[in-house]
Every structure is written in structure tokens, then in C-alpha cells.
Structure 1
Amino acid sequence: MEAVMAQTEQNQKLLLLDGNSLAFRAFFALHNSLDCFTNQEGLHTNALYTFSNMLDNLLESEQPTHMLVAFDAGKTTFRTKLFTEYKGTRSKTPAELSEQMPYFGELLDAYGIAHYQLADYEADDIIGTLAAEMAGQMPVVVVTGDRDLTQLTSENTTVKVTVKGVNDLEIYTPEHLQEKLGITPTQVIDLKGLMGDNSDNYPGVTKVGEKTALKLIGEYGSIEALYEHVDKMKKSKLKENLINDRDQAFLSKELATINVRAPLTISIADTKRKDPDQEALVKFYQQMNFKSKLAKLPQFKDAGEETTVESWPSIPCLELTQTNLATALSSTQASRSFVIDILGDNYHLETPIGFAFGTDEQWYYSDDLGLLAAPELKHWLEDPKQEKAVFDSKKTKVLLARLGVSIEGMTFDLLLASYLLDTNDNSNDLGILAQQYGYTQVQTDLEVYGKGVKRAAPTDYQVLGEHLCRKARAIFELRSQLVQQLKENDQDQLYDEIEAPLAMVLAQMELAGITVDSQRLKQMRVDFSQTLSDIETQIYEDAGHEFNINSTKQLGVVLFDELNLPVIKKNKTGYSTSVEVLEQLQNAHPIIQRILTYRQISKIQSTYINGLLKVIHPDHKVHTRYLQTLTQTGRLSSVDPNLQNIPVRLPEGRKIRQAFVPSHPDWEIFSSDYSQVELRVLAHVSGDENMQAAFKRGFDIHANTAMKIFGLDDPSQVTPDMRRQAKSTNFGIIYGISDYGLSKNIGITRKQAATFIAAYFEQYPDVKAYIDNIVATAEKQGYVETIMHRRRYLPDINSKNYNLRSFAERTAMNTPIQGSAADIIKVAMINMQDRLRQEGLQAKMLLQVHDELIFEAPVTEIPRLERIVPEVMDSAVSLDVPLIVESGHGKTWYDVKK
């Protein structure tokens, strides 16, 4: 941390931090890593660590000359005297955070940053008073997690509100408030007065939410003006509520108003930044076991370790040559770590820049890829009995396969292990990931290779070699720690039996690729261009003239000024012509459906036809990459190209699959797809007898649900529309859908949707019990698990912010379902690859698309696949309901499903 530089009066700036709010945000930002952040005495330190990182970022970005962190003095304030239930519903602060709070003052003192609290007042009032005092004297920046403070924005004061974690900030100025909500800073108080605040527990007006409150403020300007005119309003339930809750509205406004004249006992002079106390920082970091923070200090006494990359303890790192190759492989240690690096992401195209391997006895590096084919090294790499620890086993497998080496014996994958331990914060940069686990003696790839167009291997060969050796050493050092954590989490079986073997299956699928008929794609491009031209002509006829259909501004003028269609939504640039808006106008004019169709076909043309043509390899195939460590549910993602998102619900999108063909003339594409796997998982984990009975008897689950919702006695009475509505309800329940969300999805009233949901839970009562129980479990332990013990941490499950908490609750409901479905198909893929090998078939598994597996095989093997694939997929796991698989085959991927 650099010393504070003297600055001129013009460059002065006051930075005010909402201490309690940011402490909470800091705690929950790393709540999923709670047990990883404890000191020698067992004190939890995650909030302190994140808060100190936030301070570093703010000091660097804001460069304040004056700074203060304000804290609440206690639960009793002048607001609780006005309203005894103020903040009365807030849950108790987690003990793991409470034990850290006394140390925030020590941290700030060491940083040279003032902190302050005032009896009977909140941190908001301290901040508001100081900001008001500084009006016209120096710029003020407020950082908080509480949007109530946006009422302080002015020409002099900017309020930055945390959006995610503590470093992603939304910047509020009077202009931004106007653009976002259409109100002024002072009207923030009127907004809170009308709608109340669930977090702070003051009431507002009954049934008045943000949308209604904003409308009233837009019309009347303030609560006072509203009540001057309330008697003139038309008779309505809203008017009745406004009149009945008048006192509540004014009380809520008073409670929401930040006191900008609090009797502070400090002055602006007390907020002037001081130089950090290096000795105090060293002592604090040592006490909290912040090794990575210690390593960044420029100088200190008795810190116990060096401070710069140059002064890290050296490691035995030698250049590998043909001469010392035999010696390099003569180590008696049973396991070595191995690293091979590329500069970009696509390992199907990138050429490696170097590799390293070894043990703590000696590390070796080289950029001579030819050495990998040397008999001694090739034999070691391909020997399954020689254990290797790597960072990304799938990437390593593919890169070496392209160089003619079939690596085996990769018994530890640092990337996969860390992903299972924490799906929320998993980096593909080994240096960043290592630091998360307390290992600091390796740089990040960003630091060594750079980023963007400047990304390149170091010109100094020894710098590259040292980096590769240190990466290999980091894997070596972290292996035992992560393996132990997997065992403690009961996730070692998930790693050993699913994720690690799946990485090898995916590598084989990626290397195989799938053949694409480029001529067919080019013909589609011609056909689609003609279709778009025809639709353009029709749109111009509807409009009465030509215009740029892709211009939102010109389209808005045509629709709303010239055709006088009803305006649904406006934004800062004019009329909104989003898909959501256009769908609401579909019945208003024929031009709307044409525009929607035009947009859909244009996207298919640019994204899929042109996109696919760009990524076909010289072998006439596309080799997608499956991201195994991206999603928090465990589902796989496909990139370069993404073959999972081809829009098959549209006829034009489905045609794209006609270009995917077998790699041999007498072969066919074969596909098998799980039927309603997520609902079957729900039936299993909830134990609901009615749902399980429906699946066991082979009923159409959507028709069965429709019968219960609509009170029918016979399946023949279920219409296609009823089944569609029941299907949306079935899947919506998994995702915690509300009556409002369901009503929008299936085009019914909110009241009808609420009746549907109630009827659903009456029919499947144990599903409701499961949902309630899983949310309660998440609140208690901070995470949920799949049937295979895949974890997803939910740091916002106990958040005071309603929106964050609600999202976490919905996530708690659906993650075990989605994640278990992902587990099931992963097991099926592993078993399927083994079965193909055991049967001696030529058939190859090529793609995984959600719940579907795609193969290519000789026509003569199709009958065997029709028997084997469903058999393997059906038996992937044992559930309380049967797993059903539907299969098909044809000359193209399109022909598989007619």
C-alpha cells in the first residue's frame, strides 16, 4: 500500500463507507468458503479478508484524501423511539460475523482510516451529515450496500451501491436515478414512504409496491402533494388504502429520511487519511493468517515471509533436454505433477507454449514440444500406473492427443476438485485458484502472459520456465489439501467416480468431433436470405415505406408514431421494441409477427449458419469444447461452437441439424433422450406418492397434472391447451415460479395461476413439503446438495435483501433437481463409453445436449444401439421411479426426430 500523497485543494475527495452494510456484504461474499477463512485461534475471518480487499480496491480507484467508515452504534436509535418495530424482523447476525466485528476497528486503524459511530444514530445519518457539510467544498463518494442512501446523491455526492459481492458497484447520480426510476434524490424518501421497507420493517401503504409508488410520485411529486389531492382520486381500493394508511405513509417517510444534521463529535479534519501503520498491518495480517495480504506489503518487520516475486524462495527448476530426460524421470516419488500451457482458451486450435513436470525434488520445463514424443517421456505420460497431478485433465488429454501422446494416470485434477468444493468462485487461472487456497508462491497467468491483444509468452525463456515450474509445484502442494476437503464434504466419490472419468469421456467426444456438411449450410444461407428478403418486402408494405428494420429508433417511429400502436414501454433512447414488448402487441397489427419472425431468422442466419461455417475444422468437423466447471448446477456447457442452444423449437432453427451428418457413407446418427428426467428426480427426492404412482403406471405426467388442476375424471378430457398449461405448472414449480410468473407464461390471470399452484400442491403434497424443507435446510447449512452430493453454496439464503434472498430460495429449490439430472446423464455417459468398448462397437458418442446423447454408428450397429443405449441410460442410477429413454436414428441429426 502506497503512502498517502499530499494533494492540492482541488484534488481533495471524501470517501464515506457504510461499515455495517459492507461488513455484511463482505461476510456473505465468502460465506461459502467460511471454513477456509479461520485463524490459528479458530476465529472466522472471511468478512475481514473481503473487507480489506475492498479497501485496497477503493483506495486505488478513488484516491481519497479524506475517508471515514461509519458504523451503527447499536439497535436503539431515534427511529426505534418513533416506531418500536423498526428493524424488528431482522434475523440475528450470524455468530461467525459477530465475532469478527470487533476487529474491523483494528483493521481500519492499521490502514490509517478513520471510523466512527454515534449513539442513537445510524451509520446512514453520520454519512448524510458529513456529505451535507462538504457540499461545495470537496466531492463526496459514498459506498454502501443500501439503496436508501441514494437519497444523498447530488452534484457534490455520488453514491455507489454494491450489486454483487463488494466490488461490483452501481453508480448513482441524480441523472442515474432519473434514468432508472424517473425520480429525484429527495423523492427516494417518498418512494420508501409509500412502499415501506421489508428489511427495515416499516409498513408504507398497504398493497403499494414500487411500480405503484413510482406512478404516484410521477403524478403528484411527493407524499404531501399526493395527500392534498387524494380526495379527488377516483374511487378504488388504492384510494381506500391511501386514506386508511395516511399516518403509516408519513411515519415511513420520516423513518426513511436520513438525518443530515446529526450531532457529530468529529470534523472533516478527523477524516484526513494517514499513512498506513506497517507494523500494525503486519501484526493484524499475521493474527488473521492473511498470508497473501502479507506477501503484498512493501516492507515490514518480523512478517515471517518475503514480499515480492523476485524474493520468493527459489525452487529447483531446470530446463529439460534430451540429455537429462532419463534423470528427470528417475525420481523415486510415486506421483508427479504435469502442466502444459496455451495462451488462449481453445485447446483444439492453440499450439502449446511449453510444459513442466516433476516433484519437489526437481522441476523440469521446456518449450520443445518434440520432447513429448521422446520414448522415455512418452512412456511415462502414457503409463496408467505412473500417477500425474494436473490442472485441467480434459484440456491436457486433448492437447497431448493432438501431439500424438495418449496421457493416462491423471489421478488428480486441481480444477475439477476446486470446482466441486466451490462452484460459486472457480477460476480457470491456476494462480488465482491457488491463492484462494492460501498458496501464494505462483503468479497468475494474467500477470505473466498479459491479456487481450497483448497476451504473449514471456520473451525471457527462463521466466516462462519458472512460471511453468511454479504452476506444477502449486498443483503438487495443494493436492493433499483439496483431496482431504473432498473427503470431509463427502464428495470424494463424486470426484473419483463421476467428474474425473467424465473428463476423459468428454475429451474423447471432443476429439472425435461431428461432421458438418458445409455445402448444405451454404444452401441454407441462400434460402434464408431469400426468406428474409420476402419478409422485408412485407414489412415495408405494412409500414408504407422502407426503413432499417434493425434500427430500434426507426422501428419505434414506424410502430408507435406512424402506425399508432399502443406504447408499452419507453427507455432513455426512445420507444422499446424488445421481444417482450412486441409479443404483447402481436394481435395489434400483422407487422408485429413479421418483425418477430424476421428477427428470429436473422439470428439463426448470423449465429448458427454463419457461425458454424467459421468453425469447421480441416477434417470437416466441428470440435466443440464442453465446459465442465462452469455451471453451478453441474450441467455441461458447450462452446466454440455452442451446440446445445440451436433453437430447435423453430422450424428454421431445426433445419440447422440437417447439416450434422455421420463421418462415413454407410453410417447414421443415433440419439437417445431422457424423458422428463427432472420431474422424475423431483418425484424421487420428494417421495410424493401420487407423483411416483403416475410415473410407475406410465401415465402422461402433464395430462395427469392437468386432470387434477381442472378437476377432470378421464385423460381423454384433457385438451392440448390444458396439457400445455399443466406442463408449465409442472416445470414452473421446480423453479419456484410465482402465480405472477405462471400467469405470464401461460396467458391466464394471476388469480387462476394461484389456483393452479394450489391445486398442484393439493395433488402433490409431498412436493410442497420438499420445497419447504430444502429451503429450511439451505438456510441452516448454507448450501444444498444433489443426490450425488454435488454442492451449491447459497451465500444470499439469509440475506436481508428480499430480492437476493428470494433468488437464493428459488435456487435452493431447483438446484438439487437440475443438478441431480446432470449427475444422472454424466453417469450414463461414463457407463455408455465403457459399454461401447466392451461390446467392441465402432459407434462413437459425439455430443451431449442437455438430457440427450448423440452417436454415429454403422447402419448395421443401429439395432444393437437401440437395445444397449436405453439399457445403459435407464440403469445409470436407481430412483424410486423408472427412468424412460426415447431413441431415434437417421441420415442426419435432423432426421433423428421427425
Structure 2
Amino acid sequence: MSEKIVLIDGHSILNRAFYGLPDLTNSEGLHTNAIYGFLTIMFKILEEEKPEYLTVAFDVHAPTFRHKMYDAYKGTRKPMAEELRQQVPVIKEVLKAMGVRIIEQPGLEADDLLGTLSRRAEEQGMEVSVISGDRDLLQLATEHVKIRIPKTKQGRTEVEDYYAADVKERYQVNPVEFIDLKALMGDTADNIPGVPSIGEKTATKIITEYHSIENAHEHVEELKPPRASKALNEHWDLAVLSKTLATIEVHADVEYDFEEAKLGNLYTEEAYAYFQRLQFKNLLSRFDVQPEAPSIEETFCAIKTKKEAETYLKKLEGEKVVGAAVYKDTENVLPLFAMQAALGGVAFCASQEKTALILTGGEISAEWLLEQVSQIQRKAGQFVVFDLKNVIAELPIENRANCFDATVAAYLLNPLKSDYMYEDVAREQLGLMIDEKADGRTKACYEAYTAFAAKEPLENRLKDTKSWELFENIEMPLVFTLYEMEQNGVKVEAEALKAYGDQLVGKITELEKDIYELAGEEFNINSPKQLGVILFEKMELPGGRKTKTGYSTAADVLDKLAPDYPVVSKVLEYRQLTKLKSTYADGLAGYIQEDGRIHGKFHQTVTATGRLSSAEPNLQNIPVRVELGRMIRKVFVPEEGYVFVDADYSQIELRVLAHCSQDEQLIQAYREEADIHRITASQVFHIPFDEVTPLQRRNAKAVNFGIVYGISSFGLSQDLSITRKEAAKYIEDYFRTYPGIKKFLDDTVAHAKENGYVVTLFGRRRPVPELSSSNFMQRSFGERVAMNAPIQGTAADIMKIAMIGVGRRLKEEHLKSRLVLQVHDELLIEAYEPEVEEVKKILEEEMEHAADLRVPLEIDMHTGTNWYEAK
């Protein structure tokens, strides 16, 4: 049986992977999607082919003969995307670490190298598979040379295979004639100009009849159709150039020894280190290399007797740093109820001792162990854990001042990630890859070890990035505030919620009837496909935008039609109400616990700007624009003997903008406590303050808030239903009125471009990698992020400071009142009736003095017997 070689077109496969997979970055900010896709394709091919030899060919940046010819004809070719360019040297390093033969040679394209090697390999009696996304390589196909063209679709790789017979079947020409076919029809992807006016169909007809462009040119007067005859005659020079560009060299002068390409063990320790760095978790299972983490036998131990536990714990007392982790006994618990599992033990790690897991059961009761944990935690210099808020629910945390939440620290260092689990921190801070197959006990030990070992590098990096004060003074105290809010929960009247749902059902039924009547037939309103056919085919509404799956019925399409077409207006209302029904009327009921309260979760490591998010359920997305949406707040009520006090920051982001921009006009307006939107309208539209119309005020308000979010003239024109030119004039006049704001925004974007991040007043960094993108839309998005993140992030920091202050004061003054909800710029207190005035005073003092800005912070405050009334 013949030996086999696989030849891979490096740049072509990288390019395919880059555009076929969503953007990925590792913790260092390196883009990795092309590398990941390349390796996935390579592994798939190797598993299918099982070759004895492997070589990857790359283009060299030095221009080749063909490059020069093309550039002379058409000028400089489009440069490689920066995000892809930075991945090229990395994939080469990875392949070298795997022992893969790489070949590149100045003056030759990868195609020429592949053509030459495939011919040599075939002459030596080998079977050859050439892997490329470039169809030019089909000219290399023979009975023994197979061209394989991978396609990446939605993360999945499919491969088309072509021997010589397959090329003939697919294109009606043989591989040699395929060169001439490309010469006539051209290929923009491969920089082959082709002959104008000759497409694939005509080119195929000509080459199947005349077999080459030279023969076709000799019979040019006979070519059909006449336009093809005329085109080839007039553009013969282009046809010749195109054939030269399309022809791959198969006899290039290349030094190459097949023995150097012999496949060995790809999964080396060096390669494993690269895969760790690149964070390719899915590919690590291919390696037999053991993670460079402490082995269980050497470093970890399980303690089951009280005597052993007492000896071990005694040594931990007074340690400078103690890492800890909770072990839940989930062996006999369904995954759904894992959080409710009993305490199985606590793992510890400190400087002098082995990492130990003290297990409950037998001599060691959970109560005794928790008592010991309390003493260790209280006396430790620093007590380090992951996800402290959840740990508080399991372990007695009496000394809040010495706690260090490694999850929060990792989040501040890179707020763009989706999770901050101990495995990620171990990899990023310690260079360790945790064995994902480890059992729960081992993982608890790893977690405690990582908490201990990563504390110092995390703290050092927080200090290096000037984030330490933010961590110590805001984020860490906030953990306890959020925990208490979750414990407090908020009461919901189940019956009122059911009545609200019934009210929605009635309204939804009415809307269904109205929509069917206007449409002239019944259909599934929830089906975008059916709705599109009704609106844009049957009713012939304008603006139909057809996609692969039918007409688009997205909100932006329907919003434009709603004012003029009642059926569309009713469809939009129907969507809003069905969402309210499923998400809130039905959804909230499932979260009401035995005490009649909803105990939602507040997350501080989710958003890139530093804003809090809520889940289980998400109470921050309750609709406020529709009255029926606002009505849901009526089901949230205080306990008997209590009322709600709701405090909402007034225009906090605009006030932060005034402070940061130091714009005197805006600062003066706030100091005079004037109507900021009316003043803006007066100054931007050049009309007296008293003559500003409600519409002009609304438009000024849209500009005021839009500027904070880096709104474009297009976005503003959509918001205000005006022309783009008018919107651009609004923005221009706005910046003329408030020149300090324009300078601040420009300076912020410039800082982000230079440093890669923006920063809030309190030192919170928000990386803006989009600014270095080769994609214009991504860069534009990055500029908007750069403008908005310091403003929104500072507002979020101020709210966090206020929450901490309010929570602390309620405790210090021994009040029964409690903080129960935070939604964006709003705090909700369940206030004991005799304490209402005291609560109002605390809210006013803590919220209005959370930051010392050039303009006053103001709040709107209301009380009520339900959240709707209080708001």
C-alpha cells in the first residue's frame, strides 16, 4: 500500500477559519479564531487520511513574480486583516512545537510549493492530499493527487474532495483546462482579473470546445456569443495575464526532504503549553501530557479524623494568606439540586502546609468544622476564596476586612471575559491547567490551592493597573451588600401576579382578533415567516426585506411601518404583551419562595462597564415604556408594617459627563438647577428658553442622552425621524454649544487607541480591543464604547458606593429597614413605617454624597405601598 502525504495551504486555511468562526481572544488579548479553526481542520484531515507525512506551506511576505504582475495590472492588493495577521506567526510556532514540517520560500507562493511537492510526491509513488480553500489548486488534481477544500459553516467543517475525474464532472473541464477556465472567467478571491464580459457559463463553453485560451484566440471570430468573441479579442492581454496568474508552478527549485516531513507525535509537552496559553480547552483532551499542577499524592490530602483536622487547623491559625474552597457532597444528588447538597468538607491551602480537604462525616460534623472555619477566617491575614458571595452562604465569614475574592479580582483585570472560574485564574495567573476529569474532592483542593497561590499575582496586577483601591474600597464591600440584598429578597403578591397575567391574556386575545381582522385571515403571529408573507406579500406593505428564511420582521423593520399601518402597530403591541406574559406573569411565579419573596441574584462580574446585572429573575429588564409593563411593579409589595422608599438618581450619566468634560456651559446649567434639556434646546436651536416647544425639548433630550452613548448622525436620524443631514447638524450645533464635551470625547477615544482601554473616575478599566479591528463597523463600535464606558462605568461606581453606604448606615443605626433592589440608577428600600423619614435621610445623604463632582448629584425619591406607587 502506498504511503500518503498531506500538504496544507497554510494561509488559505487560516483565512477560511478566520472568516468562518466568530472572533476568539485569549486572556492576553490575542485573537485565536483562525488558529483554532486551522487546528480543528488539520486534526479532522489527519484522522481521515492517516498519512505518514505532513507539510504546511506558507506564503512569504516578499512579493512573488505573480504578485508583481498582478500589482502592475491593478495596484496594491487588499492587506490582510490585522486580527488575522497577528495569528500567522503564532500558528507557525504551534506547528513547530508539534513537530510539523513548515515550508516557505521567498519568491514562491504557497501554491507553487504545494504544486511542486505534490508532483514530487506523486512521482515517488505516494498518494497526495492537498488541503486548501483555493480552487486554483484543482489544476493539481490527478488520479493520485486529491484536492480537499474545507468549508467552515456555523462552526462545523465540511470538506469537498476532487480527483481529476471529480474536477471534470464538476466543471466539465480537466485539471489542466481548469487553468484556462479561470483565465477567462477570473476570480477576485485569487486576484485573477479574467476577461470582462465572460462569466463562468460562457468560459466553460469556450474551454470545453477549444481546450485552451490560445486555441480559442486562434478561432476568436467563431466564438459564441459575439460579445465573448469581441471581449477576448480586445482583452487578449488580460487573458494571458490571468492564465499566468492562475498557473501553479510544479517544478520550482525547492529544497525538501520527505524524511523531515515524517509524522511523529504531534501532542508534545511544548505544544501542550501553547494550547494552554491559547485556551483551547476542547483540544487539550488530545494530549497525554499531564498538567503541570500539584499532583494529588504530593501536595493534596484528605483529612477524615478530628485529631488530624485539629493538628492541621492549628498550623493555619494566624497565617498571612489562607486559600479556601467549599466541597459539596453531590454524589447522591441530581445535578439540578447540586447547590442544595450538604456540606461535604472545606479545603484549605497556606504557605507551609499541604493543601488539605477536611471531610465531614464520621468524627467530623459539619457544625464542628464550621466552628473551626470561623476561627481560621477571623484570624487569617487574608482569607482568599473564589465567588465570595456564594461562599458566605456556606461558611461563617465574621471578619469581612480580610476577605479577598479572587473572582472579583480577575474580573477587574479583564472585564470582557464571560467567566472567572478558578480554572481560568489557575491558567492565566499560575500557568496551570486543571484536570477537568478530576473528581469533586480533587477540584476543591485545586480551587483552594489556586486561591492561595494566585492571590499575590492578582494583587500585584491590580496595583500595577491602579485598580487596587477600586477592588478594596468598592468591589469587596459590595460583595457583602449584594449578599444581604439577596437574603432580604422582595415580597411578591402571588394572587396579584395571577390577576395581572389574566389581564394580559384578555388583552392579547383582543389583539389577536384585531390582527386577524386587519390581515383578512388567521395565521401564527409568532411565526416571522408567516407574518412576513402576510405583511409583505398579501398586504403588500412597503419595506419588505427578504432573507434566506423569509421576510425580516425584526423590530427595526416594523417600527418604521407602525405609525402608518395599524396592523403593524398591533403586532408590536402583541409581541410586547406576550413577552410580558411569558417572562413576568408566568416567569416570576416560579421564583416565589416559601417565604413569599423572590430572592434574585445580583452579579458584579458580568458587564464590561461595571454595571450590576440581575438574574433568577432579571428584574432590570422590566419594561417601563408601556403602561402594562410598568403595572408589573404593582405585584412587588413590602411586608405588613413597611412601605417602599424608592430613590432614583436624576440624570446621573449627564452629570458625570459634565464633570468629566469640564464643560462650563453644562456645569453652569446644572448648578442653576435648570431644565437641562430645555436649556440645550434653547442653545442648540438658538431660540429663547421660554419659547422652546415640547418637541424641541424632546429632540434636545435625545441628543443629550445620545451623545453619552456616542450616537451617530444615522442613529439620531432614526430616533428623531429626521434626515441624516439634519441629525448631523444637530450634533454639530450641540458640540459647538458644549465644546468641552467634544474635546473630552475626542481625547477619550485617542487615549483608548493609544493605550487599548478607557478608565472611570474610580480607576475601573474597560479594554476596547475593537479599536484595533480591521473592520470599519467594529472600529466604529469601539469608538462608541470608548466614549460611553467611562461615563456609564463612573455612574455604576457611584451607585455601588451609594449602595455600600446605604447598607452600612441601615446596619449601624440598627434599623429594621432593608435594601431589597437595585435597578440601574434606582434603589428600593423596604422601610419600617416608623423609620421612613430616617431612611429618606440616609438615602439622600449617601446617594447625593457618593462622589464629589463639579455638579451636584440629585435623586428623585418617592414612597408607596407597592413598587409602582413608589416609582
TM-score tier (shorter): 0.7 to 0.9
Q: In structure 2, what residue type is equivalent to 1:377? A: Q
Deviates more, 1:793-802 or 1:622-631: 793-802
Provide the residue aligned with 1:855 in structure 2: 829
Determine if the alignment matches structure 1 residue 394 to structure 2 residue 389. Answer: yes
Q: Is the 8 A contact 2:272 2:287 kept in 1?
A: no
Once residues 724 and 7 of structure 1 are traced to their aligned partners in structure 2, the CA distance between those partners, rounded to angstroms, is 78
Alignment of 1:785-800 (within 5 A): 785-800=759-774
Give the direction of change, closer, same or farther, for the CA distance of 1:734–1:610 in structure 2 (3 Å limit).
same
1:780 aligns with 2:768: no
Match of 1:690 among 619, 643, 665: 665
Match of 1:208 in 2: none
Report the counterpart of residue 516 of structure 1 in structure 2: 492
Report 1:816-831 matches (<5 A): 816-831=790-805
Q: CA deviation at 1:756?
A: 0.8
Q: Output the amino acid matched with 2:98.
A: Y
Match of 1:228 in 2: none
Return closer, same or farther for 1:788/1:677 CA change in 2, 3 Å cut-off: same
Distance verdict in 2 for CA 1:118–1:822, change over 3 Å: same
Distance 1:141 1:729 in 2: 53
Shift of 1:437: 1.9
2:840 equivalent to 1:866: yes
Task: Tell me if structure 1 keeps the 8 A contact 2:508–2:577.
Answer: yes
Does the residue aligned with 2:656 lie in a helix, a strand or coil? helix
1:857 Cα deviation after fit: 0.7
Rounded to whole Å, the distance in 1 between the matches of 2:241 and 2:668 is 54
What's the counterpart of residue 247 of structure 2? 261
Structure 1 residues 276 and 711 mapped into 2: Cα distance closer, same or farther (>3 Å)? farther
CA distance in 2, matches of 1:131, 1:538: 69
Partner of 1:621: 597
Between stretches 729-738 and 425-434, larger displacement belongs to 425-434
Could you tell me which of 415, 427, 437 is aligned with 1:423? 415
What residue is the counterpart of 1:108 in the other structure?
A: 95
**CA contact 2:620–2:823 (8 Å) conserved in 1:** yes
Residue identity in the other structure for 1:261: T
| In structure 2, C-alpha distance between the alignment counterparts of 1:844 and 1:865, rounded to whole Å | 9
- Report matched runs for 1:146-165 at 5 Å: 157-160=149-152
Task: Report if the CA contact (8 A) 1:140-1:158 is conserved.
Answer: no
Which amino acid is 1:365 matched to? I
Structure 1 pair 894–472 and aligned structure 2 pair: CA distance change class (3 A): same
Are 1:654 and 2:654 matched, yes or no? no
Give the whole-Å Cα distance in 2 for the aligned partners of 1:689 and 1:24. Answer: 48
Structure 2 unaligned regions, length at least 5: 122-126, 138-146, 161-180, 192-197, 204-236
Q: Is the 8 A contact 1:73 1:121 kept in 2?
A: no
User: SS state of the match for residue 399, structure 1?
Assistant: coil
Alignment pair present for 1:753 and 2:736: no
SS in 2 for 1:784: strand
Aligned equivalents of 1:56, 1:128: Cα separation in 2: 22
* Structure 2 residue aligned with 1:234: none
Measured in 1, the distance between the counterparts of 2:61 and 2:343 equals: 58
Task: Name the Cα RMSD after superposition.
Answer: 5.0
Q: Which amino acid aligns with 2:612?
A: L
Q: Note the 1:168-179 alignment, pairs <5 A.
A: none
Does residue 1:891 correspond to 2:865, yes or no?
yes
Letter of the structure 2 residue corresponding to residue 337 of structure 1: G
Kept in 1: contact 2:26–2:278 (CA 8 A): no
Q: Which amino acid aligns with 1:750?
A: R
Q: Are residues 1:70 and 2:58 paired?
A: yes
Q: What SS class does the counterpart of residue 314 from structure 1 fall into?
A: helix
Q: CA deviation at 1:338?
A: 1.4
2:348 corresponds to which residue?
357
Give how far 1:269 is off.
Answer: 11
Q: 3-state SS of the aligned residue for 2:389?
A: helix
Given the superposition, is the C-alpha separation of residues 618 and 777 from structure 1 closer, same or farther in structure 2, using an over 3 Å criterion? Answer: same
Checking the alignment, whether the CA contact within 8 Å between 1:786 and 1:820 is kept in structure 2 is: yes
Structure 1: how far apart are the matches of 2:770 and 2:115?
28
Residue 699 of structure 2: SS of its match in structure 1? helix
**Alpha carbons of 1:126 and 1:335: their partners in 2 closer, same or farther (altered >3 Å)?**
same
Amino acid at match of 2:263: D
Distance 1:32 1:288, change over 3 A: closer
Matched, 1:501 2:493: no
Q: What is the deviation of 1:379?
A: 3.5
Q: Per-residue CA shift, 1:76-123, capped at 9, x if unaligned? A: 8424434556569999999xx6xx977764543343445444646777
Q: Could you tell me which residue of structure 2 aligns to residue 469 of structure 1?
A: 445
Amino acid at match of 2:394: L
1:254-653 mapped onto 2 (5 Å cutoff): 260-263=246-249, 265=252, 274-276=262-264, 314-331=298-315, 332=317, 333-341=319-327, 354-359=345-350, 360-362=352-354, 363-366=356-359, 368=361, 370-374=365-369, 376-377=371-372, 379-380=374-375, 383=378, 387-400=382-395, 408=400, 410-425=402-417, 427-440=419-432, 442-444=434-436, 447-448=437-438, 463-653=439-629
* 1:674 maps onto 2:649 in alignment: yes
Deviation at 1:328, TM superposition (A): 3.0
Q: 2 CA distance for matches of 1:192 and 1:699?
A: 63
Q: Give the SS at the match of 1:773.
A: helix
Residue 397 of structure 1 contacts residue 406 of structure 1 at CA under 8 Å; is this kept in 2?
no
Contact 1:398 1:511 survives alignment (8 Å): no
Q: What secondary structure, in the 3-state scheme, does the structure 2 residue paired with 1:634 have?
A: coil
Give the match's secondary structure for 2:393: helix
CA shift for structure 1 position 789: 1.2
Distance in 2 separating the partners of 1:254 and 1:312: 69
Aligned length: 777
Gaps in structure 1 of 5+ consecutive residues:
1-5, 35-45, 150-154, 174-185, 201-216, 223-250, 301-305, 449-462
1:81 aligns to 2:75 (yes or no) = no
1:855 is paired with a residue whose SS is strand
Report the Cα distance in structure 2 between the residues aligned to 1:119 and 1:865, rounded to whole angstroms. 76
Change (3 A) 1:535 1:781: same
Post-superposition CA distance 1:29-87 (Å, at most 9, x none) = 658737xxxxxxxxxxx67x998766554444554656635234236842443455656
Amino acid at match of 1:471: E
CA distance in 2, matches of 1:399, 1:377: 13
Question: Following TM superposition, by how much is the alpha carbon of 1:479 offset from its aligned partner in structure 2, in angstroms?
Answer: 0.9
Residues 140 and 835 of structure 1, relative CA distance in 2, 3 Å threshold: farther
> Hey, what's the Cα distance between the residues in 1 that align with 2:90 and 2:526?
56
State how far apart, in whole Å, the 2-side matches of 1:569 and 1:372 are: 65
| Greater gyration radius | 2
CA distance in 1, matches of 2:132, 2:80: 27
Q: Distance in 2 between matches of 1:91 and 1:545?
A: 53
Distance across 2 between alignment mates of 1:258 and 1:759: 57
CA distance in 2, matches of 1:721, 1:172: 59
- Which residue identity is paired with 1:526? D
Q: Is the 8 A contact 1:32 1:794 kept in 2?
A: no
Distance 1:323 1:767, change over 3 A: same
Distance 1:63-1:720 versus aligned 2 partners, 3 A rule: farther
List per-residue Cα deviations over 1:423-473 (Å, max 9, x = no partner): 1235343113311223426334xx44xxxxxxxxxxxxxx43222112111
Aligned-partner Cα distance in 2 for 1:577–1:13:
46
One-letter code of the match for 2:662?
G
Question: For residues 8 and 539 of structure 1, do their structure 2 counterparts lie closer, same or farther at Cα, with a shift above 3 Å needed?
Answer: farther
Instruction: Give the deviation of 1:341 after TM superposition.
Output: 4.6
